A and B are shown apart, each in its own frame.
Chain A
Amino acid sequence: MNIRVYKDKITARLMGVIAFLSCLILVLIIAGLYYRSRPVLELKPFLELLTSGSWHPLRQEFGFYPFIMGSLWVTGVAIIMAIPLCLLTSIYLSEYAPGYLREWIKPLIDLLAGIPSVIYGVWGVLVIVPLIKDTIAPRVGSFSSGYCVLSGGVVLGIMICPIIIHVSLEVFRAVPRELREASLSLGATRWQTIKQVVLRKARPGIMAAIVLGLSRAFGETMAVLMVVGNVPRAPGSLLDAAYPLPALIANNYGEMLSVPLYDSALMLACFILLLVVLLFNIVARIVLIRIERQM
């Protein structure tokens, strides 16, 4: 057989195997996490673990409620902040900005996505935390150390902007030009066209972009951990400290493993985190793939 053809076949096989292996790794991780979290799952039913608020590893009480609430609060603030910012940015870039400007700004935004998260964390500690402690908290007549849900949310909100802008920009660009022209030719203004045609057509894609942002926010560890305060109590307000799941894992894994079942509880936290993030990603990807097919 011709040696080139032979090489081609071997490379194809090899790459196939590697691709398969990387999928396999994901499955193995999920299985492994599940396996290692079984001891704590045997201790109490899953639902009770999720809804119990008492976290006392030494007494073998592992209630994940504070951490889940911490994650939800911080992610919620982040997404509420990010949505208007990102939508306005991508609407401007897609509908109003001249082509050359869009082509310049797009890579810049993608560059933001590549900034290491610890740098966002440092920025949060240096800028956001003092701002909240010295200015915002006193303004609303309460006290806060600055290490709180709001700081985490703000830092995260900024962090997830690049991905949401990137995806929603693509979604807007996928809306056929003729559709805009149809609306314009009926005497609609640009803004009317955007509101009633472009946004409507783009809605599923925008949802997908937001869900991708959510999953990024939900799983983000470093930047959040540095600014949220890490107190294992469910937050009651924006100015309370929180302790999101990823922070719990990163802070404690490898430190208190002599405590029985502690390791297993952290594995369960990993398991929950992974499932949520995977689920969000899969849903978003499916929507986006559908949109691409329609083009």
Chain B
Amino acid sequence: MEPETHIRVKNLNVYYGKDHVLRDVSINIPDKRVIVIIGPSGCGKTTLLRSFNRLVDTVDGVRVSGEVMVDEENIFDPHVELTHIRKKMGLLSQTPYPLPMSIYDNVAYGPRLHGIKDKKKLNSVVEHYLKIAGLWEEVKDKLHTPATQVSIGQQQRLCLARGLAVEPEIILADEPTSALDPKSSRHIEESFLRLKKDYTIIVVTHILRQARRLADYVIFLYCGELIEHGPARQVFESPREKMTREYIQGVIS
């Protein structure tokens, strides 16, 4: 039986100008798990991830065909309301980009956009999500300093808290630890493992060891094509496709 799913991708094609970067990708993404997207550099991992919340739209000259169904709604439908779609997904980028404001305001940014004005409510939201991201103890005495003044690792956890504060169902993370030191990376990985019972977490990585540590489900892309996907155990231990095996063994990269 297919696992429950919020995100269904059907025949997704993405072109940047004439570059055909995602070719006919179809997949059902299982819920409440860590899904890891692996594949060599330039194979379209970031593009696939950014299709889920339509950030691909921000690229000049992009063209998309096919469907991405989120909660039975095709997000590429021209009538869809973007802010509503994007609010369902938190995003972690390769390097953390705190907004140019204080730590507190970073976390409160999303809730404020969506109408929470009450001071007390905001305070408790900020505290709650900073705790979930494992950052509260470190920043509780400097909530009102500019967010850019904390370490990179802390910034990444702040970005996680900021994303969680809009109460998404899905977390999208694009190589979220590639700019971090080992300790901060471990922090992030641990948060993912903690959060996966409540969220669907989609992580792009090209560190295979990290993929093995995190993944419940693996998606392997190669040159814009979806080569293989399946439960982590199966993909890592007995891949169906020759190409997957070679990638996992490090023959191709």
Which residues from chain A sit less than 8 Å from chain B, CB to CB? 98-99, 176-189, 192, 196-197, 200-201
B53 touches A185 (CB 8 A): yes
CB of B99 within 8 A of CB of A184, answer no
7 contacts between A and B (CB under 8 A): A176-B97, A181-B55, A182-B91, A182-B93, A187-B86, A187-B113, A196-B99
| CB closest residue in chain B, given A187 | B87
- Give Cα distance in the complex from A178 to B166, angstroms: 18
User: Do B114 and A185 touch across chains, with their CB atoms under 8 A apart?
Assistant: no
User: In the complex, what residues of B have CB within 8 A of residue A197's CB?
Assistant: 99-100
- Sample of 9 further A-B pairs with CB below 8 A, known A187-B83, A188-B83: A99-B60, A178-B93, A182-B159, A183-B99, A186-B87, A186-B113, A187-B87, A187-B166, A201-B100
A180–B100 Cα distance when bound, in Å, is 11
Chain A contact residues: over half helix, strand or loop, or mixed? helix
Q: What 1/0 mask marks residues of chain B from 218 to 245 whose CB sits below 8 Å from any chain A CB? A: 0000000000000000000000000000
The answer to whether A178 and B95 have CB atoms under 8 Å apart is yes
Cα distance A17–B218 in the bound complex, in angstroms:
64
Q: A186 near B159 (CB under 8 angstroms)?
A: no
Cβ contact within 8 Å between B58 and A177: yes
A114 to chain B, nearest CB (A): 28
Give, as a whole number of angstroms, the nearest-CB distance from B204 to chain A: 15
Q: How far does the alpha carbon of A183 sit from the alpha carbon of B163 in the complex, in Å? A: 10
Judge if B66 is at the interface, Cβ distance under 8 Å: no
**In the complex, which residues of chain A have a beta carbon less than 8 angstroms from the beta carbon of B99?**
179, 182-183, 196-197
B109 interface residue (CB < 8 Å to A):
yes
The residue that A186 contacts in the complex, of B61, B93, B163, with Cβ under 8 A, is: B163
Question: Which listed residue, A176, A183, A201, touches B109 by the CB 8 Å rule?
Answer: A183
A177–B94 Cα gap in the complex (Å)?
13
Q: Which of A181, A182, A183 has the most CB of B within 10 A?
A: A182
A195 smallest CB distance to B (angstroms): 11
Q: Mark B184-227, 1 if CB is under 8 A from A, else 0.
A: 00000000000000000000000000000000000000000000
Q: How far is the CA of A182 from the CA of B172 in the complex (A)?
A: 12
The chain A residue sitting closest to B93, CB to CB, is: A178
Q: Cβ of B89 < 8 Å from any Cβ of A?
A: yes
B53: chain A residues at CB < 8 Å are 185
Residues of A contacting B91 in the complex (Cβ-Cβ under 8 angstroms): 181-182, 185
Closest to B97 in A: A178
Q: How far is the CA of A182 from the CA of B86 in the complex (A)?
A: 10
The answer to whether A179 and B97 touch across the interface, beta carbons within 8 angstroms, is yes
Q: Separation in Å of the A186 CB from the closest CB of chain B?
A: 4
Known: A98-B60, A200-B100, A200-B101. A187 touches B110 (CB 8 A): yes
Complex A-B, nearest 6 residue pairs according to Cβ-Cβ distance, in ascending order: A187-B87, A185-B91, A186-B110, A99-B60, A187-B83, A178-B97
Given contacts A98-B60, A99-B60, A186-B162, contact A192 B86 (CB under 8 A): no
Cα A94 to Cα B64 in complex, Å, equals: 23
Closest to A200 in B: B100
| Closest B residue, CB atoms, query A176 | B97
